[in-house]
Amino acid sequence: MGPLIGITTRPRLVHASGGDMWADTLNHTYRNGVTRAGGIPVLLAPVADDAVPNLLDRIDGLLLTGGGDVDPALYGSRPTKEMYGIDPGRDRFEMALAREAFRRKMPVLAVCRGIQILNVALGGSLIEDIPSEIGSDYHARIGDEVFVAHQQVQIDERCGLAALVGATDLAVNSIHHQALRRVADGLHPVAWAEDGVIEAIESDDPDWPLIGVQWHPEYLGEVDDDPSHKLFAAFVDSAAAAHLPTP
């Protein structure tokens, strides 16, 4: 049996038999990425902070998924007109998950919003809106373009990510308007877009299996992108090997 991979969900309004209702949802692309790599997906809905350790006792790896923006108050900033999808309940839950996973050195794959909430949870901050601050307008591609590797990122040749994907120049997709600004203590950037936006992070602690990417390997994996398959495989393998003891 493969390792249990906890995957964070996104609140969305859906049409149900009782009318329009809020639901905790997940794109099938994340599930597919996990199962393709041999993991067993477990969807995570928000729980109270004191239940988070109990929840993480029952999974082997944590996948922090994409979605709406992180509340800027959490990193000492203010809302801007470009922000969308802020959900305090999701922020609170994922901050607690990230901090507990950091404490345990639990295997983590953080994607897009996931890399942002992880950075904020550990004390970092975000660029509130890339186009208005940096001027780049090519990061937020949507529709069919999410399945196309349309942006180049440069990867530090000395890092684990470069060894994992077997390249230092990688074509990825891009579906975000925010990014990491001040990187939290204990983390460091390892990949950048042409405009200098941070595209991937790793942990300073070699004993913490962390893969954090700003792009979306779950979409690219649907079109048989080999580096994306390698990212999910490495994450699921690290979860299988972790054998984390109960704290």
Instruction: Specify if 114 maps to a domain.
Output: yes
Residue 242 pLDDT greater than 90, yes or no: no
Mean pLDDT for the stretch of residues 40-47: 97
Per DSSP, the residues of 181-211 read SSPPTTEEEEEEETTS-EEEEEESSTTS-EE
Instruction: Specify if 113 maps to a domain.
Output: yes
195 CB-near residues (< 8 Å, 6+ apart): 130, 134, 135, 136
Please identify which of the residues 94, 100, 202, 218 carries the catalytic annotation.
218
Q: Is 188 a catalytic residue?
A: no
pLDDT in tens, 62-120: 999 999 999 999 999 999 999 999 999 999 999 999 999 999 999 999 999 999 999 99
Q: Is 194 a catalytic residue?
A: no
Please identify which of the residues 94, 100, 112, 202 carries the catalytic annotation.
112
The interaxial angle of helices 28-36 and 226-242, nearest 10 deg, is 70
Q: Is 216 a catalytic residue?
A: yes
**Termini Cα distance of the chain:** 23
- Domain of 113: which CATH number? 3.40.50.880
Number of domains present in the structure of the chain: 1
Instruction: Specify if 143 maps to a domain.
Output: yes
